[in-house]
Amino acid sequence: MKKIVVAIDGFSSCGKSTMAKELAREAGYIYVDTGAMYRAVSLYCIQNGWMTDSEINAEELEKHIHSIRIEFKPNAEGKADTYLNGQNVENEIRTLEVANGASRVSTLGFVRRELVRQQQLMGVEKGIVMDGRDIGTVVFPQAELKIFLTASPEIRAQRRLDEMAAKGEKVDFEEVLANVKERDERDQTRAESPLRKADDAIVIDNSALSRSEQTEILRTLFAEKTLD
Ligand SMILES: Nc1ncnc2c1ncn2[C@@H]1O[C@H](COP(=O)(O)OP(=O)(O)OP(=O)(O)O)[C@@H](O)[C@H]1O
Ligand SMILES: Nc1ccn([C@@H]2O[C@H](COP(=O)(O)O)[C@@H](O)[C@H]2O)c(=O)n1
């Protein structure tokens, strides 16, 4: 079976990583959550006091961009945790504050260039499933299988809310919905690599699909693309 690159892009919280992880596990492929990389940069800015509600200290961030080391290492359950300069930050990067900061730092060209460079290196040998916003358009425009995933904002916000509630976090629906919509808007309108469907991407709207139904669709598409 030939090794390919699978690029999964789409809106915030629509299930990209859920389906990407499942396919990577089944296929024995590497899985890369590029959103986690932007989140790690966001956390780094917050930790250094370089991000306020209205501004990012882009000058300081640019000076230090090459000192930000982001790695993924398996945890006890075999899932990949995100490490920022040697520290496990998997839980810290999943807050709404860090998500919002990620969507802001991701508008900076020098941040995107550095993370895209690292992402391309991870995929040189193929056998990779990567999810994000620009994977099929910028990181791997030659990817053999490209998916553009979507679902209604309300459904996405409810799924994220349920996930946060299950972790014991108290957030309200309107707050999560506003975060999802704000990030979508910024992602689609930024000058650098805006979120858009690659011309050759296959659109999946999973608003009414279960996790197993969406995985089955992806599994079928993957099988077609990997036939020798
Ligand atoms: N088909 C589905 N039906 C119901 N819930 C789902 C479905 N797919 C994913 N989910 C749930 O929706 C939430 C968001 O999914 P996931 O984290 O995979 O989205 P994402 O697109 O990777 O998000 P992000 O924008 O943060 O990268 C998770 O709690 C996940 O379990
Ligand atoms: N390839 C990517 C991936 C993510 N972003 C930005 O990061 C934010 C957080 O990503 P999640 O996938 O974890 O939600 C997201 O809102 C995007 O702004 C990106 O620009 N490019």
Residue 9 has pLDDT above 80, yes or no: yes
Residue 149 has pLDDT above 90, yes or no: yes
Q: Which residue has the tokens 């000192």?
A: 67
Give Cα separations from 14 to 31, 39, 74, 86, 105 (angstroms): 17, 17, 24, 29, 21
Average of pLDDT values for 171-198? 94
Whether 14 lines ligand 1, by a CB cut-off of 6 Å, is yes
Q: Which ligand is nearest to the CA of 156?
A: 1
Q: Residue 14 belongs to what domain range?
A: 5-226
Q: Give the count of beta carbons closer than 10 Å to the beta carbon of residue 159.
A: 18
**Ligand 1 center from residue 160 Cα (angstroms):** 7
Residue 20 has pLDDT above 90, yes or no: yes
pLDDT category at 11 given cuts 50, 70, 90 is very high
In testing the pocket of ligand 2, which one of 34, 105, 150 has its CB within 8 Å of the most ligand atoms?
34
HSE-up (13 A, CA, CB side) for residue 166: 6
Whether 17 lines ligand 1, by a CB cut-off of 6 Å, is yes
Residue 169 has pLDDT above 90, yes or no: no
Q: Do 14 and 205 form a contact (C-beta atoms < 8 A)?
A: no
Residue 228 has pLDDT above 80, yes or no: no
> Residue 45 contacts by C-beta under 8 Å, 6 or more apart in sequence?
51, 56, 57, 61, 101, 105
Whether 10 lines ligand 2, by a CB cut-off of 6 Å, is no
pLDDT category at 78 given cuts 50, 70, 90 is confident
197: part of which helix (H) or strand (E)? none
Low-confidence winner among 32-41, 83-92, 169-178 (lowest mean pLDDT): 169-178
What whole-number percentage of the chain has pLDDT above 90? 93
The number of the ligand 1 atom at minimal distance from the alpha carbon of 206 is 1
pLDDT category at 150 given cuts 50, 70, 90 is very high
Residue 170 has pLDDT above 90, yes or no: no
Whether 201 lines ligand 2, by a CB cut-off of 6 Å, is no
Output the pLDDT for position 195. Answer: 97
**83/74 Cα distance (integer angstroms):** 10
In terms of Cβ atoms closer than 10 Å to its own Cβ (0-12, 13-18, 19+), residue 143 is: buried
pLDDT category at 37 given cuts 50, 70, 90 is very high
- Residue-wise pLDDT for 111-147, tens only, equals 999 999 999 999 999 999 999 999 999 999 999 999 9
- Provide the Cα torsion 10, 169, 38, 79; round to 10°: -80
**Ligand 1 center from residue 28 Cα (angstroms):** 21
Residue 39 has pLDDT above 80, yes or no: yes
Whether 215 lines ligand 1, by a CB cut-off of 6 Å, is no
Residue 62 belongs to a domain with what CATH number? 3.40.50.300
Q: Do 14 and 81 form a contact (C-beta atoms < 8 A)?
A: no
The number of the ligand 1 atom at minimal distance from the alpha carbon of 18 is 18
Q: Which ligand is nearest to the CA of 98?
A: 2
Q: What's the number of domains the chain is made of?
A: 1
Q: Do 65 and 114 form a contact (C-beta atoms < 8 A)?
A: yes
Output the pLDDT for position 227. Answer: 87
Whether 13 lines ligand 1, by a CB cut-off of 6 Å, is yes
Q: Is 207 annotated as a binding residue?
A: no
Using left for φ > 0, alpha for ψ between -120 and 50, and beta otherwise, residue 122 falls in alpha
